[in-house]
Amino acid sequence: MLTQGIQLFVQELSNFLTLRTLFDVLWATQLGMIVGMLPGLTATMGVALMTTLTFHLPPTNAVLILMCMYIGAIYGGGRTAILLNIPGTPANAATAVDGHPLARAGRAGEAIGIGTTGSFIGSVIGMLLLATFTPIIGRFALRFQSFEFFWLAIFGVVISGNLTAPKDPLKGWISGFLGLFVAMIGMEAIHAHVRFSFGHRPLSGGIDLIPAMVGAFGFSEIISMMKHTRVELIQTKIERVIPRLKTIWGFKRTITRSGIVGTFIGAIPGVGEDIAAWVNYDLAMRSSKKPEEFGKGSLEGLIASETGNNAAVAGAMIPVLSLAIPGSAPAAVLLAAMFIHGVRPGPLIMVENPAFVSSVVAMVFLGTVAMLVLGLSAVKQIVKVLLVPRSKLMPIVFTLCVIGAFAINSRTFDIGVMVMFGLLGYAMREMDYPVAPMVLGIILGEILDTNLRRALVISRGDLTPFFTRPISFALFVIVLLSLVSRTSWFISGRKALTGAIVGAVRAMVGRVRG
Amino acid sequence: MKKLIVMIAVLAVVAVAMVFARGVREEDPDVWEPTRPITVVVPWGAGGSTDQTVRPLAAVLEEELGQSVVVVNTPGATGSVGTAEVLNARRDGYTWTSGAVKDLATYRVRDLLETDLDDWVLFLSLAQVNVVSVNKDEPYQDFAELAQAFLDRPGEIDVGTAGVGSAGHTAIQLINRYRPIEYTEVTYGGGAPAVTATVAGEVPVTTQLASEQVDMIRAGELRPLAVLSDEPLKLEGVDEEIPPITNWIPEFEAAPIYFGIFVPADVPQNVINTLGRIWDETIVGNERLEQLALESASVFAPKWGEEARTAAFPMVQLDAWLAYEMGDTVMRPDEAGIPRP
Amino acid sequence: MGDKVNEDKGMPRADFVTGLVLLGFSAAVLYFSVTMPRLEHRGINPLSAPGVVPGLLGVVIGVCSLALLIRAVVRGGYRLTLSGGSLAAFVSSSVVRRIIVTVAICLVYAWGLVGRVHYTLATFLFVLVFVLFFELVFGQEERRSLARTVWTATLEAALVAGIVSAVFQYLFLVALP
């Protein structure tokens, strides 16, 4: 079975090795990276755009271009997160937490190199899991139902709050819950009832994630960049972009874990690269030997989030192929594109068209390699962005924020949303509230809203299933731990407990030896 | 470096010139040659029935019009959010919406949006039917057994749909009208998630469209019990046909749900004329679109204008009056020009 | 952010105020959620009424802001002082002036120009004014001749306006505002 799979993969890969196809791979990945870097243009929009443009190409070439676009966009967003502290797509918000401090310390080249390598390895791990475990993981993802989605939404907000406000998680949680509330504005998805719009027509359509994100990260960053009378130009010495094997090997556990966990999270329908990045960042910090470096420029944190979000890309393809259910928003568009090209993935694809699965694996492989090559080439030029004086750079960034906010729905209302969230985001920063949990809250708000109410309807108002279904229970415990682990009595208690356990173990070991 | 700057400058000048040069061409009464990209709003999520109908259509239209046709997903509230955006946009023919005719026609009676069919010209491509299916592990082998279970355990059986105004919602209400039953409706963000939830076993029954269930039926994950039509439905790759609901409810009158693109009626006449011509000459008999329809278990039925309206109207009547009887509306449908079926 | 160090003393006070504001906000959310229509006339399951989740969020935000408020009070943040002198010092500080100018230029562009003036022209003006204002008026960035500063700013503005317009219109197919 495995050898047959490898055979199929090699065969499909060799089919792609024509000059024309390789050219397609390169430009699609590069365009994806640009889309990812521009604030406001997301992977979803990029893939949707290319779907129409590639309609006339043969199906495999079209899907290949879309895959490369997707991979490139998720990776490209990390660039701006590192260099400008403005994540290009929501998936890169966790990357900014450690990536930007590194850039400020003059280590932008190193950060990009590590991020790129992480993305590459994440993608490869995801690809391997995609190739081998597609049917099993696909089935498992189906066990996430309304009750589980409710906990997942809460979990996302809580850990994001913990991670971005390490000193004061309360403010992180407030930011996250405010984000969840923002998602309540406008027409709700179950009964089409308009909430909190107070008769304002554009508001009844709700506040779109992208303008809010572009404002909260982009515009607020512009204000804080411009406010100081004097800034030191960051002197970036590029000695090495491609990281040493030793460095990467040192993170082998973080990378492997992030790749596997990222793929699984990507595979859960409706939950995407953004959550994958946060969860992996959280796991990396918990298991790190140097958790105090997180948030101040930890290479480990950076590599965890970048590995996680790119692994989730491959992960999102798993339910697409095995169940025809998209694992993330860009994957939904990709699935529609496959339908349009007459490829119908689903439970029967392994029986009807096994070559297609290998073919998708080969596509992920090509896109990943292109990402690595393109990502590591031009770093020296890109890092020069940091040398551009802010009075010249920031107006360009703001221009892109405006057009990026506008581009999604072509509404000037969204430009207003961007500006308002920029001002709000700036005020929040000044008072030590992180903005990332708010953005994640806006993403997760609808998931929370519809799944909680649906779960209540299904259980006829009974709350016990939230705690008794196996996955629900596990998620509940994790959420509870994430909450109490940040209170002082828990931390001191844990220290005492681990001390006692270590002491007891030592004593026992001593006795056995003795 | 200098060369690069010169090149960029030249490019910029060309681009600026192109930007300024748009929109000076003379108007022809019959021929419409769009000078910039056209936006077609899909007021539902990517990958849903409307999305799958519109994207291939957009690609064909793009070729015919010689301009990009950009598909924008603006989901929310039975499609009324995206449709409202098209209503608010300039009526220059460059912004269209899409979806099911029955939704568009009942926005006013449902108090979702102030519009009705007179405001639009319909360009339809597909017709779809609903199928009642159950999860493969459920005991019900035919529609009679399921109907009996609804009667034996009133209110206990969940039915997964895409919510108010969706095809699945209308279908279960229609069944309810002929055979009064008590059920609990569980709503999802779209047809595809409702079908997924049925496969996963969160809800036992779904009444969504055939096109949304076809892959799961073929894979044996869902057991189709009846198609809401008076003829059996044959799916590609499935040996047994799905029996029509009239086998159990002989007086059942269903009507297909038509999907397509909707253009505001007060756009320049040359836009309507040009699209009509494309429909008559290119869309009718387009083999690729026909094959796509067959694969997705829908009926390829391109029509436009009055003909389209006539074909789609029975479902509009059924849906509007059903909603009225269930208390889903704020006015009598005949006040909005929809007579009782 | 490195500039937070000397603000730490003021933080309990800021938390006290934001705590109050958030508490008021959560009360308003709760009020609107409770009074939100339950859609009984449509025969909708009350467990899925639109107000359920916003109401819960209102409660959660309320609890969090109460915790914030209590903590701020414990740390002495309720002693609010606002003298005329400190306000004047606040407004005249160069940091505040720079923030106001940044926000003002950006707002004029985003709300005033885009959508009214041709997009490319609006962008050109915005970039030009932004660069010139910060390089000439505040002037700490670089010291170069006036002519050269103006010339490079104009070139930059033209390039940005042209390239962004062209790329978004023809590559990403966005109908510009």
Is the confidence at residue B20, as pLDDT, over 70?
A: no
Tokens at B328, concatenated? 């889903």
Say how far apart CA A32 and CA A37 lie, in whole Å.
9
What per-residue confidence (pLDDT) applies to B157? 93
Please tell me the predicted confidence (pLDDT) of residue A55: 66
Residue C161 contacts B, CB cutoff 8 Å: yes
pLDDT band at A159 (very low <50, low <70, confident <90, very high): confident
- Which of B58, B73, B215 is the closest to A324 by Cβ? B215
**pLDDT at residue B206 in the model:** 95
A365 versus A495: the higher-pLDDT residue is A365
Residue C2 pLDDT > 50 = no
CB within 8 A of B275, min separation 6: which ones? Answer: B32, B61, B121, B123, B263, B304
- Touching subunits for chain A (3+ Cβ pairs under 8 A): B, C
Residues 127-146 of B with CB under 8 A from A: none
| Cβ distance of B291 and A269 shorter than 8 Å | no
Dump pLDDT digits (tens) for A16-37: 778 888 888 898 998 888 888 8
How would DSSP label each residue in A113-149? HHHHHHHHHHHHHHHHHHHHHHHHHHHHHTT--HHHH
B207 close contact with A: CB closer than 8 A: no
Output the average pLDDT for chain A.
81
Between chain A and chain B, the number of residue pairs with CB atoms below 8 A apart is 138
CB C27 within 8 Å of CB A428: no
Residue C162 has its nearest CB partner, among B16, B36, B70, at B16
More confident of the two residues A404 and A501: A404
Higher pLDDT, A504 or B279: B279
> C146 to chain A, minimum CA–CA distance in Å?
15
Q: Is the pLDDT of residue C42 over 70?
A: no
pLDDT at A482: 77
pLDDT score of A178: 94
What's the pLDDT at B22? Answer: 45
β-strand pairing of B120-128 with B131-135? unpaired
Kindly state whether B13 is in contact with chain A, defined as any CB-CB distance less than 8 angstroms.
no
Helices (H), A227-348: 245-250, 252-267, 273-287, 299-323, 329-340
Set of chain B residues whose Cβ sits within 8 Å of the Cβ of A344: 215, 295
- Say whether pLDDT at B82 is over 70: yes
CB contact under 8 A, C166 and B19: yes
| Superfamily per CATH, domain B29-127+257-336 | Bordetella uptake gene, domain 1 (3.40.190.150)
Angle at A170 (CA atoms; ends A167, A172), nearest 5 degrees: 80
Per-domain boundaries in chain A: 2-468
Least confident of A29-38, A279-288, B233-242, C1-10: C1-10
C131 inside 8 A of chain A by CB: yes
CB of A24 within 8 A of CB of A65?
yes
Nearest CA to CA, how far is A136 from chain C (Å)? 33
**Residue C6 has what pLDDT?**
39
Between A366 and B81, where is the model more confident?
Answer: A366
Q: Which residues of A touch B163 (CB under 8 A)?
A: 189-192
Q: Does C108 touch chain A (CB under 8 A)?
A: no
Q: Mean per-residue pLDDT for C29-36?
A: 90
Mean pLDDT, rounded, for B140-145: 93
Looking at per-residue confidence, does B305 or A72 come out higher?
Answer: A72
Q: Does residue C149 sit at the A interface (CB-CB below 8 Å)? A: no
Mean pLDDT of chain B: 80
Task: Identify the band that residue B25 occupies on the pLDDT scale cut at 50, 70 and 90.
Answer: very low
Rounded CA gap, A67 and B320, in Å? 42
Written as six digits, the tokens of A401 are 């924020």
Binned at pLDDT 50, 70 and 90, residue C1 comes out as: very low
**Residue in B19, B70, B164 nearest the CB of C165:** B19
Nearest CA in chain C to A422: C103
CA B324-B328-B330 angle, 5° bins: 75
Residues of C in contact with B94 (CB under 8 A): 175
A contacts of C14 (beta carbons < 8 Å): 431
A451, A149 contact by CB (below 8 A): yes
Alpha carbon separation from B290 to A381, B36, B126, B130 (Å, rounded): 50, 29, 9, 19
A146 to chain B: which residues are within 8 Å by CB? 197, 202
Window from A13-17, A63-67, B72-76, B176-180 with minimum mean pLDDT = B72-76
> How does strand B95-100 pair with strand B38-42?
parallel
Q: Which chains touch C (3 or more CB pairs under 8 A)?
A: A, B
Radius of gyration, CA atoms only, chain A:
23
Per the CB < 8 A criterion, the answer to whether A300 and A251 are in contact is yes
Measured in angstroms, the CA of A60 and the nearest CA of chain C are apart by 23
A339 touches chain B (CB under 8 A): yes
Residues of C in contact with A431 (CB under 8 A): 11, 14-15, 18
SS3 category, A11:
helix
C115-165 confidence digits (pLDDT tens) = 888 899 999 999 999 988 888 877 655 556 778 888 888 998 999 899 888
pLDDT of residue B225: 94
Residue C85, pLDDT above cutoff 70:
no
For the cut 80, the answer to whether the pLDDT of residue A382 exceeds it is no
* Mean pLDDT, residues A407-419 taken together: 83
Are B29-127+257-336 and B131-247 the same fold in CATH? yes
* pLDDT of residue A351 exceeding 60: yes
Domain assignments of chain B as residue spans, ordered by start = 29-127+257-336, 131-247
Nearest to A52 among B45, B58, B110 (CB): B58
Q: What CATH architecture does domain B131-247 belong to?
A: 3-Layer(aba) Sandwich (3.40)
